[in-house]
Amino acid sequence: MPMSESLKSHRVRTSAQRDVVEGDAIWEPVRSLWLSAMLAGASIGGALTFSWAAFAIFVFSTAAVLLLGHSLGMHRKLIHDSYGCPKWLEYFLVYCGVLVGLSGPWGLLRTHDLRDYAQRLPDCHDFLAHRRPFWQDAWWQLHCELRLRRPPDIRIEARIANDPVYRFLQRTWMLQQLPWALLLFWLGGWGFVFWGVCARVAAGVCGHWLVGYFAHNHGGMRHEVRDACVQGRNVRFVSLLTMGESWHNNHHAFPGSAKLGLYPGEWDPGWWLLKALERLGLVWDLRLPEHLPHRPELAVVPPPPHAPRRALAKSLRTAPPP
């Protein structure tokens, strides 16, 4: 069955579905050793140098890079361009996203777009679907890379591919931790480094995988993308920890929306900050589901039959337009 136009990615070019099915998950030494070093620094170094001040730096810095960087910078702006802002603010937010420790801007964009594209097809590789058992998926996602036999061509638009700032951040994304490590060492010694860099990166990388695993295997659904091999799930209990990114079923339904928590009670700190920045005149053109093209393959999943009638009625009244 051919894909609907609304399902296609403007960055991914491929001629056959097998391009995202046939391949192998191979150990990737640089990525694996990077994470292993951060985990060792966090677990061993962090345990030996624990202090409440160091732990406070970990909590604050992790929340800051996840909110400003991963959610607003990398995901809602760089990948989906779901709002407008000054270029200096875009650079700052994407830089914060690099500090999460997952990848550079190009690497994260390519990884996201390949997975997003593949999940909308009738079938894709288990690596892209988070389809294998928990610990195998952890090994694959955290220590391996998927090498497809015929990888699709992912073409990054010129505004990103030709940008010298993004080129620099892509080349140096691991080294971007070094200035902060030096500053933290000057402020508080190795304890601040282990907690403010190693523990932060380890939590960001492992947390990103963990939420991704649950968001594709467990959780509620309000929408279904027909004929897609993978459906997103809403993981309610981590909505604050992920800055709203865990409303993944909503995101699968309306990927271009700057707002991810679409229904009453769905907390979305990323959206709250965007609205605050809008009032300050720093962001504009916030896209919502009603601003996106109609998707004929999108269906509403009825609320569970045991839900109270009042909750059912409220859910149906507040549902975003298809």
Which tens digits make up the pLDDT trace of 57-94? 999 999 999 999 999 999 999 999 999 999 999 999 99
According to the model, what pLDDT value does residue 36 have? 98
> What's the whole-model pTM score?
0.90
Q: Taking 80 as the threshold, does the pLDDT of residue 9 lie above it?
A: no
Residue 153 belongs to domain spanning: 5-300
Q: Which of 218, 221, 216 is nearest to 302 (CA)?
A: 221
CB atoms within 10 A of CB 18: 15
β-bridge mates for residue 215, sequence order? none
H/E stretch holding 55: helix 52-64
Instruction: Tell me how far apart the alpha carbons of residues 297 and 310 are, in angstroms, rounded to a whole number.
Output: 28
Instruction: Tell me how far apart the alpha carbons of residues 61 and 114 are, in angstroms, rounded to a whole number.
Output: 29
Instruction: Tell me how far apart the alpha carbons of residues 58 and 134 are, in angstroms, rounded to a whole number.
Output: 27
According to DSSP, the β-strands at 12-13 and 153-154 are antiparallel
CB atoms within 10 A of CB 124: 25
At 322, is the pLDDT very low, low, confident or very high (cuts 50, 70, 90)?
very low
Q: Taking 50 as the threshold, does the pLDDT of residue 317 lie above it?
A: no
Q: For 59-75, give one letter per residue: b (16+ CB within 10 A) or e.
A: eebbeebbbbbbbbbbb
Instruction: Tell me how far apart the alpha carbons of residues 284 and 282 are, in angstroms, rounded to a whole number.
Output: 7
> In 3-state terms, what secondary structure has residue 146?
strand
Considering the domain boundaries, does residue 320 fall inside one? no
Considering the domain boundaries, does residue 116 fall inside one? yes
According to DSSP, the β-strands at 144-148 and 23-27 are antiparallel
For 210, the token pair is 């963990």
Number of domains in the chain: 1
Q: Rounded to the nearest 10 degrees, what angle do helices 177-188 and 52-64 cross at?
A: 150
Considering the domain boundaries, does residue 316 fall inside one? no
At 305, is the pLDDT very low, low, confident or very high (cuts 50, 70, 90)?
low
Considering the domain boundaries, does residue 160 fall inside one? yes
Considering the domain boundaries, does residue 317 fall inside one? no
Considering the domain boundaries, does residue 305 fall inside one? no
259 near 84, Cβ under 8 Å?
A: no
Considering the domain boundaries, does residue 313 fall inside one? no
Considering the domain boundaries, does residue 314 fall inside one? no
